[in-house]
C-alpha cells in the first residue's frame, strides 16, 4: 500500500492498531468495517494497492475477488441472520477498487437503504452493534467457515 494523502492507505495503516482492525486480509484484498458509517454488518473489501476499478485488477486480484465476496456474503448471512446481503461499488473518491457489502435493515431496504448509506444517514448507524458484528465476522472468517445457515 502506498500513497501519501490517500485516505484508504492511511486507514489501512491505522487498522493494524485498531479493534477490530482488519477482519480479513489476503495477499491482494483487505476487509474491514464500513469506513464511513458504523452500520452493523457492513464491510468494505478493498485492494491493497492503488487501482482505479475492476478493469485495472491484475489476474490474481480478479481471481480472488469472486470467491472472497461469496465467502463474505455467507459470513454476513450467518452472523447477522439476514436473508439478503447487498453489494455496491461506485469507485468514486478513492484510488482503491472497493466493494461494500452488508445486510439491509428490516425497516429500511433497497434503494432507500443504499441512499442512506451513501448519505451517511445517522439513523442507520449503531456503533456498538457494528463493533460486535465485526468481531463476530472476524471470528467466522478466521475459522474459515464456509457453511451457510439462514435465519428462519
Q: Which three cell numbers stand for residue 65?
A: 475477488
Q: How far apart are CA 23 and CA 144, in angstroms?
A: 12
Q: Describe the strand order of the beta sheet including 24-25 as a list of residue ranges.
A: 24-25, 29-33, 43-47, 98-102, 86-88
Q: How far apart are CA 117 and CA 138, in angstroms?
A: 22
Q: Which of 31, 1, 39, 33 is nearest to 141 (CA)?
A: 31
pTM score, two decimals? 0.85
Give the CA-trace dihedral at 26, 133, 114, 109, to 10 degrees.
140
**Residue 8: per-residue pLDDT:** 76
**Per-residue model confidence as pLDDT tens digits over 88-121:** 988 777 788 889 999 998 788 999 999 999 899 9
**Residue 34: per-residue pLDDT:** 86
**Residue 145: per-residue pLDDT:** 58
**Residue 151: per-residue pLDDT:** 38
What secondary structure does DSSP assign to the chain, as a single string? ---TT-HHHHHHHHHTTSSS--SEE-SSEEEEE-SS---TT-EEEEESS---SGGG--HHHHHHHHHHHHHHHHHHHHHH--S--EEE----S-SS-EEEEEPPBTTB-HHHHHHHHHTT-GGG--HHHHHHHHHHHHHHHHHT--------
Query: Would you write out the chain's pLDDT as a tens digit for each of its 152 residues?
Result: 455 678 778 877 878 777 788 899 998 999 999 888 899 999 999 998 999 899 999 999 999 999 999 999 999 999 999 999 999 988 777 788 889 999 998 788 999 999 999 899 999 999 999 999 999 999 999 987 544 443 32
Amino acid at each position: 500500500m502506498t500513497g501519501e494523502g490517500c485516505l484508504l492507505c492511511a486507514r489501512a495503516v491505522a487498522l493494524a492498531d485498531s479493534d477490530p482492525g482488519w477482519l480479513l486480509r489476503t495477499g491482494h484484498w483487505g476487509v474491514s468495517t464500513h469506513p464511513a458509517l458504523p452500520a452493523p454488518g457492513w464491510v468494505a473489501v478493498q485492494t491493497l494497492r492503488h487501482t482505479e476499478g475492476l478493469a485495472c485488477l491484475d489476474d490474481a486480484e480478479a481471481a480472488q475477488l469472486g470467491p472472497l465476496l461469496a465467502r463474505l456474503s455467507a459470513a454476513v448471512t450467518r452472523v447477522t441472520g439476514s436473508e439478503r446481503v447487498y453489494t455496491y461499488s461506485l469507485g468514486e473518491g478513492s484510488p482503491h477498487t472497493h466493494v461494500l457489502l452488508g445486510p439491509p435493515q428490516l425497516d429500511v431496504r433497497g434503494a432507500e437503504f443504499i441512499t442512506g448509506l451513501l448519505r451517511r444517514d445517522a439513523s442507520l448507524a449503531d456503533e456498538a452493534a457494528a463493533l460486535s458484528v465485526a468481531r463476530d465476522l472476524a471470528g467466522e472468517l478466521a475459522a474459515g467457515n464456509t457453511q451457510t445457515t439462514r435465519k428462519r
